[in-house]
Amino acid sequence: MPTEPILGGRVVVRYRLPPGSSHPLTDVIGTLEQLEPTVVVRTADDRVVEVDRADVVRLKALGPKPVRRAGTGSDDCRGG
């Protein structure tokens, strides 16, 4: 069960986008690298996202990344 976010842990950060953006909020999921003075998250594709603390709406710890297994797609449910 996820607990408090810790450095090096997997997190989701919901944050405010600048005025005039197409959406008011967005999320980033990745590894928490820094909490002060800004929140820094490294995504699975190795992108670094830096967010001002004042723009963070929610910071939540996540469990480990789910493992994708071959043969678990919706095409496997066809039966027959």
AA letter at 10? R
- Whole-model pTM: value is 0.78
Q: What is the pLDDT of residue 78?
A: 54
Q: What is the pLDDT of residue 76?
A: 53
Phi-psi region of 79 (alpha: psi -120 to 50; beta: other; left: phi over 0): left
Task: Give strand ranges (E) for the chain.
Answer: 10-16, 25-34, 38-42, 48-52, 56-61
Give residue-wise pLDDT tens across range 29-62: 999 999 999 999 999 999 999 999 999 999 999 9
**How many whole angstroms separate alpha carbon 7 and alpha carbon 58?**
16
CA-based end-to-end distance of the chain? 38
Maximum Cα–Cα distance for the chain, whole Å?
Answer: 57
Which 8-state DSSP code applies to residue 62?
-
